[in-house]
Amino acid sequence: MLSRVFQAYGHVCAAHPWEVIVGTITLTSCLMSMSLFTGHDKICGWNYVCSREEVPHGPENIFLTVARCAAVLYIYIQFRNLRKSGSNYLLGIAGMFTIFSSFVFSSAVVNLIQADVSGLKDALPVFLLLVDIKKASALAKLALSSKSEMEIKDHIAQGMSLIGPTMTLDAVVETLVIALGTLSGIRQVEITSNFAWLSVVTNYLAFMTFYPACLALILELSRDGHGGTPMWYFHQKFAKVLQEEEEKKPNPVIQSIKVIMSAGLVLVHAHSRWGGEPSEGILSDGLSQLDLDTLGLQQEVTPDQSLWQFYLLSALQMDTDHVIMLALAAFLTVKYIYFDYDLDTQINLINNKVSPRPEGEDCTMGISTSTKEVEDDVISTATKSRHASFIIGDDDSSSESEKESKETQTELNDLFKPLTLRASSPPRDLEECKEILNSDEGPDELTDEEIMLLVKDKHIPSYKLENILGDYKRGVAIRRKLVSRTLASASAFKNIPYDNYQYKYVDGACCENVIGYIPVPVGVAGPLLLNNRQYQVPMATTEGALVASTNRGCRALSMSNGVSSVVIGDSMTRAPVVRLPDACKASQLKRWLDIPQNFEKVKESFDSTSRFCRLQKIQTCQAGRTVYLRFIALTGDAMGMNMVSKGSERALRVLHKQFPDMETMSVSGNYCTDKKASAINWIEGRGKSVVCEATIPASVVQSILKTNVQSLVDLNISKNLIGSAMAGSVGGFNAHAANVVAALFIATGQDPAQTVTSANCITLMEAVGKDRGDLYISCTMPSIEVGTVGGGTILPPQAACLQMLGLHGASDTSPGQNAAELASVICATVLAGELSLMSALAAGHLVKSHLKHNRSQLNVIPSLPTVKEDQSSSERTKITR
C-alpha cells in the first residue's frame, strides 16, 4: 500500500518537474525572505561587538579536524563505490546535488527560526556524515536506464516506491534519535543536534520533491534530437537495476524494530518536553538563560564595510583545520580523476583475465582457424583494444553531431560496412560465464564469444539477446555471427546492413530474431490532385516502370481537375468460431444476438476494451452446430485488428455466461476474413471502403496517354471485366491494383500481407461528354485495411512517408479521419496506375516501357545480346507481365 502511494507520488513529481521545482524554489525564497524581515539585525563582528567564543584548543581542535577530514574522506569513498556502478561522475554528482540542495534548505529554515548558529561550522561535518548519497544515486541509476520520456517517469516512480518507504522510516528514526541531543543541556551538543535534525528533515524533503523533479527535467531536456534516448542513457537493463535495488531492501524485522523504536522515542520526547515543568534555567529551545546572557550582544558599532564584504572576508579567513580539510579534498579529487581510473582499468583486466595485447595483434584469436577463415568474408576483424570494452552512457565520447548522423540515413558505405564485434580473448569456461551473467556486472563484462557460448548452451535464448544484453545493436551483431556459421554461403550477410538503425522501435512490435534490415527503393509519384488537395505519393518498390507509370497517370489526372473520392464504409472485423452441443443451441445463440437489448449488452462489454474501438454490429453465420460471429467495429486511426480481437474476447465472456456450454474454438474462424481472398470482404467490405472517380478530357487522353477513349473503354470491358470473370476472380476486376497498394503499404508501414484483400478493386470506364469523347473512370475498393498509428507506422522511415502525405499519427479533430484519408489516397493512386497502364496496353507501349525501365543490365549474361529497339514483335512478347 505504502509503496503504491510513493510510486504515484514519484510519477507526479516526474511528470510535472517544472511545477515541483518552481514551487520548491518559491517556498525556499519565501523562507529566506521571512528570515530577513523577521530576524534580528544584530550581526556579531559587523555592527555589534559580541563576547568572543571560546576557541577550541588541544584535543578538541584535533577532534574537530579529524571529523572534518572524515567527512571529506566519506564523500570520496562514496564516489569510489559509485564508480563500480559504471559511472565516473554522473551518479556521484546526482548525490552531491541532493546534499547541496538540502544544505540550502536547511540554512533557510535555520535563519527563519533564528536558531543559534554560533557553533554551526563544527556541525557541518556531521551534516555530511548524515547524508547518504547512495539513495539519490540509486534513483538516478534507475532513471538513467530509461530510453524514452515515458520510461523516465515510470522508472522514477518505481524508484520512489522502493526507496521512499525505507527513507521515510529512516528519516523519522534519525530525527527522533538526534533530537535527544537537544535535551542534553550541553550547549555545543544542543547546537549540533539542532542543526543535525533539521538537516535530516530538509534532506528528506529535498529528496522527495526537488530531486526527482530535477532528475526528470534534466533527462528530458538531454534527449536526442529525435526525442528518443537521453544523452546520459545508462546502458543497463532497467529490470536488472530494479532487481538490484529490490535486493537491497532492509529486513522486515529490522523495519518493525525501527517502528517500535520510533514510537518509544516519541514518548520520550513527549514526556521530556511537555510532561512536566522545565528545569530551572532551561528555556524551551534547550539553551540556559546563562548561556543566552553570555552570548548576548554587548555593544553596537558602526560597520566600516558592507555586509557582503564582511561575509566574504570571514569566509576567506581560514583556520589551520580548514586548510587541512581543503588540502585533503584537493588531493582526493586529483587522485579520483587522474589515478583511480588506471587502478580501475587494472582491476577490470584482472577480473576479465584479459592481458594487454600489442596494437597490431588480431583480436579474434580463440576462434578456430577454419571458422575464422570463413567468417572473415562476413565479419571484419574485431576492434583492436587493450581490454574488453565496458560501455556506459557517461563514457560515450561521440559528439552530438556524430550521434545525430548515426541515427539518420548515411552513405552507402556506412550502411553496408562490415560487422564489428567487441574485442575478445579466449573465452572463459561456461560456469564462470554464467556466474558473471547473473552477477552485478552482468553481460557487459562478457565478451561476444562468451555470450555466444551461453547462447549455444541454451542459457540465453537467441531471441532474447537484445533484452538480456540491454544493447540492441550488440544483440543483432552477435545473432548475425551465430547464424553466419550455419549458412551454406558465408558471404550471405555481406550486403545485409545492420548498422545505423533504430531497433528500439522494432523490439516487441515489428520483428523478432533481427539480423538487419532490407533497404527498398522509394520513389515518388505526383503531385496527385485529390479532393482539391495535392499529394506527393511515396511508393516503395523494386518493379521498374511502376512509379513512372503511376506518375504519368497523376499528371493526366491533375490536368483533368483531379480525382474525387468518398469513403462509403469503415469497419474492421474479427470473426471467432464457437461450437455448441447441437444445431438447435447454435441457432438459439444466433437468435439471441438478433435481439437489440442483447446486442447492447455485448456492445457494452466490447467497447470497454478501448477508447476508440466501437462495435457496430455482429454478423452471424451457422454451419451445423458451429457459429461464426463476425464482429464489425470502428477503430479510429488504427488499422484495428488487435483492437477488435481484444474486444471480441471480452464479448465472448458475456456469451459464455448466457450459454455456458458454448465452446470457443478460435478467436479467428477465417470468416473475418484476414489476408486471404474472400467473397465476404468483396461484398460486405472490411477496413475502409472507398470510391474514386475522375473525368479525363479527350485532349488529355490523346496528348498524355497516347491513346483514345473508345480503345480504353473496349479494353477495360474485355480485360478487367470479362477476362477476370472468366478466370473466376474475386475482387480482381482491375489491371494491377495490387502493384500500387503493395508499394504504398511498404512505404507507409502497413502490413504487406494485407495487400491480398486491400487490393480488391473494380475499375470501370465509360465514354462521356460531348460526342462521348471524354473518359469517365472510377475505382471501387471495398476493403482497404490501413492505419496511421500502430504497427509499422512507428518506424521512423515509414512515419516519414506518412508525414509526406500529412497523415502521420491520429487525427486531432476526428478519430479515424487520417486513416480514411490515407485509404482515399491509396484508391486515387490506384486509379492513376490503372489509367496509365490501360493506356499503355491500348497503345501497345507496355513492352517498350518495361524494356526501358524494368530490365536490369547488371545480371544479364554477357554472352546474350541486349534487347534493341529494332527487335521483332515476336521477340518482345517474351517479356510478359
**Using CA atoms, how far apart are residues 551 and 537, in angstroms rounded to an integer?**
9
pTM, to two decimals: 0.57
Other C-beta atoms within 10 Å of 759: how many?
24
Task: Tell how far CA 181 is from the center of its chain.
Answer: 50
**pLDDT higher than threshold 60 for residue 114:** no
Write the pLDDT tens digit of every residue in 313-333: 665 666 666 677 778 777 877
Residue 411 known to be catalytic: no
Residue 751 known to be catalytic: yes
Strand 687-696 to strand 663-666: parallel, antiparallel, or no bridges (unpaired)? unpaired
3-state secondary structure of 43: coil
Amino acid symbol at 854: N
Query: How many residues are present in the chain?
Result: 881
Half-sphere exposure of 219 (CA within 13 A, CB side): 37
**pLDDT higher than threshold 60 for residue 678:** yes
Contact between 136 and 90 under an 8 Å Cβ cutoff? The reply is: no
What's the chain's average pLDDT?
75
pLDDT of the residue at 363:
38
3-state secondary structure of 137: helix
Out of 251-255, 461-465, 562-566, 769-773, pick the least confident: 251-255
Half-sphere exposure of 873 (CA within 13 A, CB side): 3
Give 197's pLDDT tier (boundaries 50, 70, 90): confident
Q: Is 853 left (phi over 0), alpha (psi -120 to 50) or beta?
A: alpha
What DSSP letter does each residue of 662-688 carry, written as one string? -EEEES--SSS--SS--HHHHHH--EE
Number of H helices, E strands in the chain: 36, 13
Contact between 740 and 803 under an 8 Å Cβ cutoff? The reply is: no
Out of 69-73, 129-133, 139-143, 171-175, pick the least confident: 129-133
Task: Tell how far CA 220 is from the center of its chain.
Answer: 12
**Given the residues 751, 785, 821, 834, the one annotated as active site:** 751
More confident residue, 787 or 368: 787
Helices 211-221, 149-179: crossing angle, 10 deg rounding? 160
**pLDDT higher than threshold 90 for residue 115:** no
**Using CA atoms, how far apart are residues 545 and 487, in angstroms rounded to an integer?**
35
Contact between 733 and 743 under an 8 Å Cβ cutoff? The reply is: no
**Given the residues 235, 237, 845, 850, the one annotated as active site:** 850
**Using CA atoms, how far apart are residues 482 and 449, in angstroms rounded to an integer?**
10
pLDDT of the residue at 726:
97
**DSSP bridge partners of 44:** 48
Amino acid symbol at 639: M
Mean pLDDT of the region 508-528 = 94
Mean pLDDT of the region 521-534 = 96
Give 755's pLDDT tier (boundaries 50, 70, 90): very high
Mean pLDDT of the region 65-74 = 74
The vertex-82 CA angle with 76 and 83, nearest 5°, equals: 95
Tell me which residue has cell 559504471.
86
Residue 543 known to be catalytic: yes
Residue 504 known to be catalytic: no
More confident residue, 209 or 51: 209
pLDDT of the residue at 861:
42
Closest by CA to 121, choosing from 192, 69, 47, is: 192
Write the pLDDT tens digit of every residue in 689-725: 999 999 999 999 999 999 999 999 999 999 999 999 9
Give 375's pLDDT tier (boundaries 50, 70, 90): very low
pLDDT of the residue at 403:
38
pLDDT of the residue at 438:
85
**pLDDT higher than threshold 60 for residue 370:** no
**Cβ partners under 8 Å of residue 638, min gap 6:** 612, 787, 788, 789, 790, 819
Write the pLDDT tens digit of every residue in 773-832: 999 999 999 999 999 999 999 999 999 999 999 999 999 889 999 999 999 999 999 999
CA separation, residue 857 to residues 523, 543, 548, 846, 867 (Å) = 20, 14, 18, 19, 10
Give 849's pLDDT tier (boundaries 50, 70, 90): low
The percent of residues in the chain predicted with pLDDT above 90, rounded, is: 41
**Given the residues 344, 543, 693, 766, the one annotated as active site:** 543
Give 532's pLDDT tier (boundaries 50, 70, 90): very high
Tell me which residue has cell 564469444.
449
Half-sphere exposure of 862 (CA within 13 A, CB side): 0
Alpha helices in 659-806 (DSSP H): 679-684, 698-703, 709-715, 724-726, 737-748, 755-758, 796-805
Mean pLDDT of the region 348-370 = 39
Give 852's pLDDT tier (boundaries 50, 70, 90): low
**Given the residues 147, 240, 675, 719, the one annotated as active site:** 675
Amino acid symbol at 121: K
What DSSP letter does each residue of 191-253 carry, written as one string? HHHHHHHHHHHHHHHIIIIIHHHHHHHHHHHTB-TTS-SBTT---S-HHHHHHHHHHTPPPHH
Give 642's pLDDT tier (boundaries 50, 70, 90): very high
